[in-house]
Chains A and B, each alone.
Chain A
Amino acid sequence: MFSFLTRTRGRGRFDLTDWLTWIYLFAAIFLMFGPVAWVALSSFKTEAALQEYPPRLLPLAPVTTTVEGHEEPLQLYRVTGGEHEGRVLAQIRRIGLMAQMVDPENPDERLQVSINDRQPVREFALATENYSRLFQRFNFMLYFWNSVFITVVATIITVLFNSMAAFALSKYRFRGRTVVFILIIATLMIPPTINLIPIYMVVSQLGLVNSPWGVIWPAVATPTGVFLLRQYMLTIPDDLLDAARMDHASEWRVYWKIVLPLSAPALAVLVILSVMWRWNEFLWPLIVLNRQEEFTLQLALNSFQGELQTAWSSLLAMTMLTLLPITIVFAFLQKYVTQGIAQTGVK
């Protein structure tokens, strides 16, 4: 690992290309991973820290202390100028440009400090309550379950339907095969927004509004999936299928025992795509699911953003939780993605 990372083009020293490579890679990491990291760090900030300007990268919380004679905990400041320079004082209240402060060691004495001469004392503190609140006050698990149900069921059906269509289109010769295939591919040219209303009318007629099935059924037939799988299945030799037929296998068994296992890399690609599509889908569930109990995570996230105020801390925490499952799925299946894409020639 180390020798891989420190490998250079020039022998033993850094070549110009090495510098360029490193700069390029770091820039890419910063651009792609930076925002995610910021969201992750910010999700642990308290609401007050989030409002702070200028913003800070690390979740730092102001330190407070209880001082005798004051009921509320007081915030601690380090004095940076003036007569009390260098002391750590607790602020009682602020009056105009002056702050009335007290030394926690000596609670009876009131001190006046200019607000420009003090810096709040901070410490690194993770506001895990952002997360725990999601589970306590907010029905996170319900939305999570809704999202998981829609994603998993839709993905299973997508893979099943698309692979069957791809099997027929790649391995059977029948009249109109090319026409059917072209028709399926042609639907890629229609922007989804155009379909929105007709599909909604169908879904509504079927009584699927406010049901997860209203999100699942319109999504399972994907031209991309059919195309991807068909291209892959074309590379499976026909002899294998014939051999299975000679081995008494019915067409169903040929599909199930030979074609499906051999298409595994392409199926993995489709699984990842489908999981990402369904998990991140927003517009269609927003239209079909109106009742709060049926909300997916994405819709619940949206509901944090009110017209007048936004609960940033909760929103950020939930964003992180929403990102997590898809990251895990991707991490496990990513090697198939490169493999599958390389083999099907689909980009």
Chain B
Amino acid sequence: MAVVELEGLVKDYGDVRAIHGVDLRIEDGEFCVFVGPSGCGKSTLLRMIAGLEEISGGELRIEGERVNEQRASERGLAMVFQTYALYPHMTVRQNLAFGLENIKTPKAEIERRVGEAARMLQIEDYLERRPKQLSGGQRQRVAIGRAVVREPSVFLFDEPLSNLDAELRVTMRGEIAGLHRRLGNTMIYVTHDQIEAMTMADKIVVLRAGVIEQAGTPLELYNMPRNEFVAGFIGSPRMNFVDAVIDSTAGDFVTVRDASGNRHKTAVDAHGLSEGEEVRLGIRPDHIVVDSEGSGLSVTVGSVEQLGGESYIYCEAAEGTFLTVHLDGQTKIRRGDEARVVFRPEFTHLFRKSDGLAQRRLVVGEAV
């Protein structure tokens, strides 16, 4: 078990800087998820921690000890790859034992640990098979087993579930979370799927273009996104954004005016805002209310998704602003209908257009 500390970590590929000085502390036993769009550098960062990519600058410490110069084989971490990377010429048993043989573990000890891991991951029945003869889910288990037998201080996962079908992904997600509870090791998990991040993480690190946009617990990120990017990335379906200008900052609410002249109240700190400043109003689909007779923003329904227990309507307000609205249960709204929607003030987010940063929310509607 170990604390992993990243200090000003930099990665250059020739003249291109892929990672721009990342500072992060991952606590002992923490399940930390790196999440971000593809190309954001999350896998690179993981491979730098693993020792598979050279560190161009900064310092990486595991258990307080600088490991920049250590090879992957010396750092004592274990990694599960997206492609599983099982050795095709070895049986499952040999795959599991390979790492232990390399550090000259006694035969009996290897036998014991392989047996234990196989039992834990329910792969005992096919220890003598080759990876080719296994299904995707079984291969995934073997890949995890290969990491488990080594009893490493830190587990690294590089998008381990992205090659599985949706159903299996949910199952394996639960199993990895269960594994973390049982073993209590530090785990670093890379994914582009924010649902995986939300469901498994103790701490989520949102990355964009080699920079940490925000790090925190899943609900911190959901409730208090630091900027527009994080707000848009966390939560599914994604948050709606409406261009607006500040109308007034008086009282407990900030009032903004959208392009069609509607006024919306939002419960955020007015500090630093000036009247007439361009902003973006953010609201999640769950917090938009369809108001059949009332005032509100008038929209045209573009399409309706009925999932039975819930419904989503995709509609367009004036001037090409698209909104996704979540409704509980089933709805009678049809494609082409006109409707009026109202934003609930205690659920709205406000971002400055100039730098995308969020204003502090005074009331967090979700947490009440």
Q: Which residues of A contact B (CB under 8 A)?
A: 237, 239-240, 242-250, 253, 257-258, 261-262, 264
Residues from chain A with a CB closer than 8 A to the CB of B79 are 242-243, 246
- Chain A nearest Cβ from B139, distance in angstroms: 12
Bound complex: CA of A253 vs CA of B103, how far in Å?
12
Q: A242-B52, A245-B51, A248-B150 are in contact. List 19 more A-B contacts (CB 8 A).
A: A242-B50, A242-B81, A244-B98, A245-B52, A245-B72, A246-B73, A246-B77, A246-B78, A246-B99, A247-B98, A248-B99, A248-B102, A249-B73, A249-B102, A258-B87, A261-B89, A262-B88, A262-B89, A264-B89
B133 contacts partner chain A, Cβ-Cβ < 8 Å: no
How big is the B interface, by class?
A: 20 to 34
Measured between beta carbons, the chain A residues less than 8 angstroms from B82 are 239
Residue of A nearest to B51 (CB): A245
* A260 nearest in chain B by CB position: B89
Taking a contact as CB atoms under 8 Å apart, the answer to whether A243 and B88 are in contact is no
The answer to whether B50 and A240 touch across the interface, beta carbons within 8 angstroms, is: no
Query: A274 to nearest B CB, angstroms?
Result: 23
Residues of B within 8 A of A261 (CB): 89
Task: Establish whether residues A239 and B73, one from each chain, have CB atoms under 8 Å apart when the complex forms.
Answer: no
8 Å CB contact of B85 from A240, A248, A250, A264: A240
B141 at the interface (CB under 8 A from A): no
Q: How far is A171 from B99 in the complex, measured between Cα atoms in Å?
A: 21
Is B73 touching A250 in the complex (CB atoms < 8 A)? yes
A-B contact pairs, 25 of them (CB 8 A): A237-B85, A239-B82, A239-B85, A240-B85, A242-B52, A242-B72, A242-B79, A242-B85, A243-B79, A243-B86, A243-B87, A245-B51, A245-B73, A246-B50, A246-B72, A246-B78, A247-B146, A247-B150, A248-B73, A248-B103, A249-B98, A249-B99, A253-B102, A258-B87, A261-B89
**Chain B contacts to A: CB under 8 angstroms:** 47, 50-52, 71-74, 77-79, 81-83, 85-89, 98-99, 102-103, 146, 150
In the bound assembly, the distance between CA atoms of A32 and B85 in angstroms comes to 46
What's the Cα separation between A242 and B48 when bound, in Å?
12
Q: A264 — which chain B residues lie within 8 A by C-beta?
A: 89
> Separation in Å of the A171 CB from the closest CB of chain B?
13
The smallest beta-carbon distance between B22 and chain A, in angstroms, is 21
Nearest chain B CB to A254 CB, angstrom units: 9
Bound together, the chains give a CA A264 to CA B86 distance in angstroms of: 17
Looking at the assembled complex, report how far the CB atom of A175 sits from the nearest CB atom of chain B, in whole angstroms: 12
- From B77, B78, B87, B88, contact of A244 by CB (8 A): B87
Q: With a CB–CB cut-off of 8 A, which chain A residues contact B83?
A: 237, 239
Quick one: which of A246, A249, A257 has the most chain B CB within 10 A? A246
Q: How far is the CB of A54 from chain B (nearest CB, A)?
A: 58
Q: Give the residue name and chain of the B residue nearest to A245 (CB).
A: B72
Closest residue of chain B to A249 (Cβ to Cβ) is B102
Bound state CA distance, A55 and B309, in angstroms? 95
In the bound complex, what is the Cα–Cα distance between A250 and B50 (angstroms)?
Answer: 15
Q: Do B98 and A257 touch (CB < 8 A)? A: yes
Nearest Cβ on chain B to A186's Cβ, whole angstroms = 27
Give min CB distance, B14 to chain A, whole Å: 11
* List of B residues within 8 angstroms of A245 by Cβ: 51-52, 71-73
CB neighbours of B103 from chain A (8 A): 248
B164 smallest CB distance to A (angstroms): 17
A239 to B143, CA, bound (A): 12
Q: How far is the CB of B54 from chain A (nearest CB, A)?
A: 11
* Given A248-B102, A249-B98, A257-B98, A243 and B85 contact (CB-CB distance below 8 Å): yes
Contacts of A244 in B (CB 8 A): 87, 98
Given contacts A249-B102, A258-B87, A261-B89, contact A243 B81 (CB under 8 A): yes
Q: Which residue of A lies closest to B78 (CB)?
A: A246
Contacts of B71 in A (CB 8 A): 245
Which chain B residue shows the least CB distance to A254?
Answer: B73
Pick the 3 closest A-B CB pairs, nearest first.
Answer: A247-B99, A243-B85, A239-B85
Chain B: minimal CB distance from A276 (Å): 27
- In Å, the complex CA distance between A258 and B95 comes to 11
Residues from chain B with a CB closer than 8 A to the CB of A243 are: 79, 81, 85-87, 146
Using Cβ atoms and an 8 Å threshold, which residues of chain B touch A247? Answer: 73, 98-99, 102, 146, 150
CB-CB under 8 A from B78, the residues of chain A are 246
Query: How many angstroms between the C-alpha atoms of A244 and B78 in the bound complex?
Result: 10
Count chain B CB atoms within 10 A of each CB in A243, A244, A249, A257 and give the residue with the most.
A243
Contacts of A248 in B (CB 8 A): 73-74, 99, 102-103, 150
Residue of A nearest to B77 (CB): A246
Most buried by B among A249, A250, A261, A264: A249
**Which residues of A lie under 8 Å from residue B52 when comparing CB positions?**
242, 245-246
Chain A residues with CB below 8 A from B72, complex form? 242, 245-246
State how many angstroms separate the Cβ of B109 from the closest Cβ of chain A: 15
With a CB–CB cut-off of 8 A, which chain A residues contact B86? 243
Give Cα distance in the complex from A237 to B52, angstroms: 14
Output the residue of A239, A240, A247, A248 with the most chain B CB within 10 A: A247
- Chain B's nearest CB lies how many Å from the CB of A252? 11
- Are A240 and B87 closer than 8 Å at their CB atoms? yes
| In the bound complex, CA of A314 to CA of B313 (Å) | 94
In the assembled complex, the CB of A178 is this many whole angstroms from the nearest CB of chain B, namely: 16
Residues of B contacting A250 with CB < 8 Å? Answer: 73, 102
Nearest CB in chain B: distance from A287 CB, A = 42
For the complex, give the distance between the alpha carbons of A246 and B74 in Å: 8
Which residues of the other chain, B, contact A258 by a CB distance below 8 angstroms?
87
A59 to B88, CA, bound (A): 53
**A250-B98 Cα distance, complex, nearest whole Å:** 12
CB distance from A255 to the nearest CB of B (A): 13
Give Cα A248 to B74, complex, Å.
6
Bound: A262/B132 CA distance, A: 14
Residue of B nearest to A253 (CB): B102
Contacts of A242 in B (CB 8 A): 47, 50, 52, 72, 79, 81, 85
Q: B143 — nearest CB in chain A belongs to which residue?
A: A243
Bound Cα distance from A290 to B146, whole angstroms? 58
Which chain A residue lies CB-closest to B149? A247
Taking a contact as CB atoms closer than 8 A, the residue among B81, B98, B102 that contacts A239 in the complex is B81
Nearest to A264 among chain B residues (CB) is: B89
Say how far B279's CB is from chain A's closest CB, in angstroms.
Answer: 45
